[in-house]
Structure 1
């Protein structure tokens, strides 16, 4: 009987963890503040170097919001916007955006083959691992690990982030060291190709 109860408690706990701690409905009101840059539902940013937030991953987005609020990840456009939000507010925001519909762009046809090869198989010659290993073959990410969805993300944003990882400008967060190591081995042409590929991946 004790084993049964323990199993039920563990099962409930794992279910709660899987769904995250945020309340999407509660997050909707604060999300209005974000729409000016990231678009309605976080799906259509006003500038291509701003990320799409829709469906990006609740755990990942929450972690990034915490880093930005704590000034561990500096984004000039975000300065002060999260100051008055509680930790629960940030969790609610992450939950709200994660439930929004994703929009997928059209990858550059001239870059698809190179981008696809790199995304799926990496580059053995230079030691670049496949992106699919962490971010899923379809680009849907890995929620338990906090790896974000890449499918449909803005190509310009992905390119900018990879270069910031490579140049040591984005160093915060538990997975930053992984991305810095990967990006350090990427050429500009590879970054452009894989960024374009994931923007149209679905």
Structure 2
């Protein structure tokens, strides 16, 4: 049964990857439209505050979905809902293209939790039916753009941990087929912390 769950998750990643097209947008237009976003996320998408995500280098398709979800209420965040409310589909595509074209700043993982984080990210945990994170987010942490799976490499570990815990608590529920929630609900705080730290050092 455990093996079947792991295979199912991998197959689901592949199916989603094949079914979603690449997002299109005008990065130059997006630069101008992202001026207000820079307040929290930085002019080039490399946020200075660890609780605000880096957007630089993020997959455009993922950014588009998140902005659309904020706008529709599928992803709950009052600040982002207000920011996205006035954006057209074209605005969302352009802003996403701009941030996707930027280079993320890199950082290193905590050496104390490196082994645990790497083990979970690359191999999962068959005893808990937890698939390897790399199956959807790629071995390098760059995600799968056409499938809408986000890049995790270089992201602030603090932000990543907040999102992992939000998925586990059900506070964030805009993951297709509850994929993230079904995985992180099996993991401890220590394991989530190790994963958040590990992916921050990927590139």
Per the shorter chain, which TM-score range? 0.7 to 0.9
What are the superposed Cα offsets for residues 159-198 of structure 1, whole Å, 9 maximum, x if unpaired? 11111111101112435x0000011111100000010000
Where 2:127 maps in the other structure, the secondary structure is: coil
Residue aligning to 1:23: 26
Q: RCO higher in 1 or 2 (8 Å CA, sep ≥ 6)?
A: 2
Larger of the two Rg values belongs to structure: 1
Is 1:37 the equivalent of 2:40? Answer: yes
> Deviation of residue 22 (structure 1)?
0.8
Compared with structure 1, are the counterparts of its residues 173 and 125 closer, same or farther at alpha carbon in structure 2 (3 Å cutoff)?
closer
Q: 1:68 aligns with which of 64, 67, 70?
A: 70
Runs of 4+ in 1 over 6 A off after TM superposition: none
Q: CA RMSD in A?
A: 1.4
Give unpaired runs (5+ residues) of structure 1.
1-16
1:133 aligned onto 2:135: yes
TM-score w.r.t. structure 1 length?
Answer: 0.87
Q: Is the 8 A contact 2:23 2:64 kept in 1?
A: no
Give the C-alpha shift of residue 134 in structure 1: 0.4
Q: Is the 8 A contact 2:109 2:200 kept in 1?
A: yes
Which of 80, 84, 89 is the equivalent residue of 1:82?
A: 84
- 5+ residue gaps, structure 2, are 1-19
